[in-house]
């Protein structure tokens, strides 16, 4: 199953690396930084907890048929609270995410979403299916700090962590992380990771800090390039690290056909 929304930093293209390091588990699938939820939608877990600090979650039943440029800016103003909203925040978020330039999430100093129209000729809502809706209805969907999810963990669960990285993409455009997910937050997360009661995998950008924080837990490293480009910004490559708190022998090998997006 494909993800519903676009998300800078999403892991759809990195699924082969993630899946080959995924362990067998009997409990719930738990994702405290869900973002685009590429792994969640791919695995389609029977039991799950998903959380994100971004309160404007995509609505799986959103349907808006005609997306031209003027409509985009009119709905963007509604989303930003500049004009009275005629639709739910979730539906507005889904629409502008699908029609904004490269699906970027970026806000100005006033907290207003300010990504320009992507000039796509057609808007398609058939990427949201009944199966997406049913999967989300089965899951426990939370909004807030990731630590609230850690308090719910049980020993048989599996946690997948894809936090903001310590680099130029540090906040992924979320207003909640406008002040950055900085060194103190990274240190706190690494300490939490070491004390989790269940199996966990974490993906993070390689920096001197993260390499030091997760020494002894690095299962794999791989190169990643970012394609987002406005006026030659965000053209960058990076090294991502896969961290696990379980032995590699416990990882379950997946064979899968992945989509191109």
> Does any domain span residue 97?
no
> Does any domain span residue 121?
no
> What DSSP state is assigned to residue 250?
G
Number of helices (H), then strands (E), in the chain: 8, 7
Whether this prediction's pTM lies above 0.85 is answered by: no
> Does any domain span residue 87?
no
> Does any domain span residue 24?
yes
The range of the structural domain enclosing residue 224 comes to 12-58+128-250
Is 77 buried (19+), middle (13-18) or exposed (0-12) by CB count in 10 A? Answer: middle
> Does any domain span residue 211?
yes
> Does any domain span residue 164?
yes
CB 97 within 8 A of CB 128: no
pLDDT tens for the chain, residues 1 to 261: 877 666 566 688 899 999 999 999 999 999 999 887 899 999 999 999 999 877 654 343 333 344 467 788 888 899 899 999 888 887 788 788 778 877 777 888 888 888 888 776 666 555 566 777 788 889 998 888 999 999 999 999 999 999 987 544 444 444 455 555 789 999 999 999 999 999 999 999 999 999 999 999 999 999 976 555 545 454 456 899 999 999 876 666 543 433 333
Q: What is the per-residue pLDDT for 174?
A: 47
Tokens 């993906």, located at residue = 203
Query: What's 178's domain CATH number?
Result: 3.40.50.150
**Could you write out the DSSP letters of every residue in 31-85?**
ESS-TT-HHHHHH--SSEEEEES-S-PPPTT-------HHHHHHHHHHHTTSS--
> Does any domain span residue 181?
yes
> Does any domain span residue 114?
no
pLDDT digits (tens, 9 = 90+) for 10-25: 688 899 999 999 999 9
List beta partners, residue 30.
Answer: 49, 159
Interior/surface letters 54-71, b for 16+ CB within 10 angstroms, e for the rest: bebbbbbebebeebeeee
Number of domains into which the chain is organized: 1
């Amino acid at each position: 199953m494909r993800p519903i929304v676009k998300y800078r930093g999403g892991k759809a293209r990195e699924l082969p690396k993630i899946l080959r390091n995924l362990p067998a588990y009997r409990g719930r699938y738990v994702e405290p930084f869900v973002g685009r939820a590429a792994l969640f939608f791919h695995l389609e877990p029977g039991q799950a907890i998903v959380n994100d600090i971004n309160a404007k979650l995509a609505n799986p039943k959103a349907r808006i048929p005609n997306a031209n440029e003027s409509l985009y800016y009119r709905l963007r103003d509604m989303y930003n609270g500049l004009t009275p909203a005629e639709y739910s925040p979730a539906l507005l978020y889904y629409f502008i995410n699908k029609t904004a330039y490269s699906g970027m999430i970026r806000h100005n100093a006033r907290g207003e979403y300010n990504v320009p129209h992507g000039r796509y000729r057609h808007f398609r809502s058939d990427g949201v299916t009944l199966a997406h809706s049913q999967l989300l209805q089965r899951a426990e969907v939370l909004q807030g700090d990731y630590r609230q999810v850690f308090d719910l963990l049980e020993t048989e669960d599996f946690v997948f962590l894809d936090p903001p990285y310590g680099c130029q993409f540090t906040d992924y455009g979320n207003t909640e992380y406008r002040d950055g997910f900085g060194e103190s937050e990274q240190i706190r997360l690494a300490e939490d990771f070491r004390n989790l009661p269940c199996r966990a995998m974490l993906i993070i950008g390689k920096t001197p800090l993260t390499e030091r924080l997760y020494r002894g837990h690095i299962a794999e490293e791989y190169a990643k390039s970012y394609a987002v480009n406005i006026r030659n910004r965000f053209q960058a490559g990076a090294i991502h690290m896969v961290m696990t708190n379980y032995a590699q022998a416990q990882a379950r090998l997946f064979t899968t056909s992945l989509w191109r997006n």
